[in-house]
Amino acid sequence: MPDELLSRVRVRPIVSDERARFDAGLDEHHWLGHRLVGRTMRYVATDEDGRWLALLGFGAAALSCRPRDEHIGWSREQQYRRLSYIANNQRYCILPAGRYPNLASFVLTRTLERLGDDYRRQWGQQVVAVETFVDPATHRGTCYVAGGFELLGTTVGYGRSGGRWFHHGRPKLVLLRTLRRDARQLLSSDFDHPDLVEGDRPMIDLEQLDFTGDDGLLARLEQITDHRKRRGVRHSLTAVLGMSVAATLAGARSVVAIGEFASDCPQPVLEALGAKYHPTKRQFIAPHTATFRRALAAVDADALDQVVGAWLLEQVRQGRVEQARLVLALDGKSMRGALNDDGRAVHLFSAMVHGEGAVVGQQQVDVKSNEISAFRPLLEDLDLEGALITADAMHTHRANAAWLVEAKNADYLLQVKGNQPSLLKLCEQIDDSQLSEAFEETVRGHGRIETREVRLAAVPDGLDFPYAAQIIVVYRERSGLDGKMVSHETSYYLTSIHADDANPELLAGHVRGHWEIENRIHWVRDWSFDEDRHQLRAAISPARALATLRNLSISLIRLAGQNRIAATMRWIARRPERSAQLLGAMPA
């Protein structure tokens, strides 16, 4: 068939009133007839005059096929769960009007190009591969090979009829075509990829994170010293922490909820998370709620934060493009219900990665001090080579800025306000002639319209701040949806990043990204975990450890690119084993 004629061939799914004609065509021209099984898709190829040239039918993949299963490398459990993501080309019939050279391979290729999207629209699921079986006694399967199918082997000559297997003695060729390059990896991976999800069911992909290796999260937790008295300890601290993380991933808000989650876990989950085996009861037993309370209250909270933060930072760096700069936002949050002996709320100072939303550091602020004194301890043990640190005006502090650049080889972006009057005055004296071209953006939401204009200026003479290279001037104008101005303000920021390394648009993103820590961490902890209403005495409670577990759970979900935190935790909570699977403690 000439190329110009092939270019006029169109492939499309049939419409409902064409079903009878489609079935009749297969009954007349295909030896297997029209019957398709499973979630089916039916296609017809037509020429420019509307004549039907070929019929194709897709349905459920074969339940068992050794060459295919060995090629994919999936387990039996993975096979049963993911078989629906493979379609079987159950019928392919070239009609008399379409018997031209190269038509069969051309139509097959065009059909496979649209098959994945059509399955998603019709059935709400992804299809990542297509299989087919060819009887070599009647066909050579040339069009499949030309269409990109790979020959995997042959069947053993068994068929299924009436629910029973029988040996027909005619082995068939097994061919497979992947619709995306990573199809085999997705089908055989330990965790379900977000693309392999039906409908809007929340799912997170933790395949790239290291949980169970020698340097994984669970191994890191073993490094934390157990300060409980050895006598009477039945459950290891690592097991208690592992179960606590799993419970928090499932939405547990308190120690009581963690204990309830553990008590409801089936035996395989308890075994995977390190629960103690009771020789008399002959089963794994979950720690009592009191055990969780004592262990989490006694754990070295600083060590726990350090271990979890360092592990999360490594995962962030491994998953990033090399050229992407690591940017950390620093901000504090008071736990209003967790009170110290003097009645003041526990205040935690945290570091969050812009974009990923992972909390990689946390420090408790001493009741007799403020966040400034916690600045260096928070960042001391983190690898900040080439990173950028953003913070509010409280941290526009000369000694800490110099320490960042000199000791950590990092940059800073700090807001300038009235607590540094001389700096603020110099910034306000900058005139338009000293400013760069503006970057402008308009954002609409929350019942208002905000317009931002960002300009840069070189540091003027007399501005005494270590390593300051540029001043960022941000003008914000807010108006209602009717266009009437509500407010306007001008903000100033200092940064050690030189003009050659950053433009107004890039720095505007860093300024805006700093406030993600309020929306993506603090707000979630308040609303998804109801943190502020927890009335715990800080001196004798596990409040600090619980905050770390919440940060870890939110960070894991954020790292996986899933922003529906509450929905994802509800999905995990419906089956306890999902938490253990997501932590790599048991197979998916």
Q: Read off the tokens for 298.
A: 């006694």
Residues 574, 514 share a domain: no
pTM of the model: 0.62
Question: Do 316 and 290 have their domain in common?
Answer: no
Cβ-based neighbour number of residue 469 at 10 Å: 17
Assigned domain for 587 exists: no
**Same domain flag for 52 and 104:** yes
Same domain, 223 and 309: no
Q: Which helix (H) or strand (E) holds 577?
A: helix 577-582
Instruction: Go through the chain and tell me how many residues it has.
Output: 588
Domain with residue 131: its CATH number is: 3.40.630.30
Answer whether 549's CB lies under 8 Å from 245's CB: yes
429 with 563, same domain: the answer is no
Residue 205 lies in a domain: no
Q: Is 121 inside any structural domain?
A: yes
For residue 212, is it within any domain?
A: no
Domain edge (last residue) among 188, 209, 236:
188
- Burial degree of 151 (CB within 10 A; 0-12, 13-18, 19+): middle
Residues 473, 516, single domain; the answer is yes
Exposed e or buried b for every residue in 12-28, given b needs 16+ CB within 10 A? ebbeeeeeeebbebbee
The confidence score (pLDDT) of residue 400 equals 93
Structure tokens at 214: 């020698």
The 3-class secondary structure across 271-315, one letter per residue, is HHCCCEEECCCCEEECCCHHHHHHHHHHCCHHHHHHHHHHHHHHH
End residue of a domain, out of 169, 188, 207: 188
- Give the chain's residues under pLDDT 50: 1, 198-205, 537-539
CATH number at residue 385: 3.90.350.10
What is the DSSP code (8-state) at residue 218? H
Token pair of 244 as six digits:
């606590």
Predicted confidence (pLDDT) per residue in 31-83, tens digit: 889 999 888 999 999 998 899 999 999 999 988 899 999 999 988 878 888 89
Answer whether residue 194 is part of any domain: no
Can you state the percent helix, strand and coil of the chain, rounding each to 5? 40, 25, 35
User: Do residues 69 and 79 lie in contact, with contact meaning Cβ atoms separated by under 8 Å?
Assistant: yes
Q: For residue 469, which of 517, 412, 423, 394 has the smallest C-alpha distance?
A: 412
Burial label, 331 (beta-carbon count in 10 A; 0-12, 13-18, 19+): buried
Residues 378 and 441 in one domain: yes
Residue 504 inside a domain? The answer is yes
342 in the same domain as 461? yes
Whether the Cβ atoms of residue 69 and residue 114 lie closer than 8 Å to each other: no
For 127, the domain range is 3-188
Q: Which amino acid is located at 263 in the chain?
A: S
What would you report as the CA-atom Rg of the chain, rounded to the nearest whole angstrom? 31
CA dist 432 and 280 (Å) reads 81
Which of 410, 314, 397 minimizes the C-alpha distance to 361? Answer: 314
409/51 Cα distance (integer angstroms): 70
**Calpha distance 44→499 (Å, rounded):** 59
| Tally of structural domains, the chain | 3
Instruction: Look up tokens 């001090």; give the residue.
Output: 369
Inter-axis angle of helices 543-559 and 289-298, nearest 10: 90
In a domain, 438, yes or no: yes
> Within a domain: residue 207?
no
Neighbours of 265 (CB within 10 A): 23
Helical H segments across 515-564, by residue range: 516, 523-527, 543-559
Residue 371 shares a structural domain with residue 391:
yes
Pair 574, 507 in one domain:
no
**Is 355 exposed, middle or buried, given 0-12, 13-18 or 19+ CB atoms closer than 10 A?**
middle
Helical residues (DSSP H) of 408-473, grouped into ranges: 421-428
pLDDT given for residue 14 in this prediction: 94
| Pair 390, 426 in one domain | yes
Please check whether residues 432 and 322 belong to one and the same domain: yes
- Give the pLDDT of residue 48: 87
φ/ψ (deg, to 5) at 89: -75, 90
Other C-beta atoms within 10 Å of 256: how many? Answer: 12
The two structure tokens encoding residue 552: 């870890």
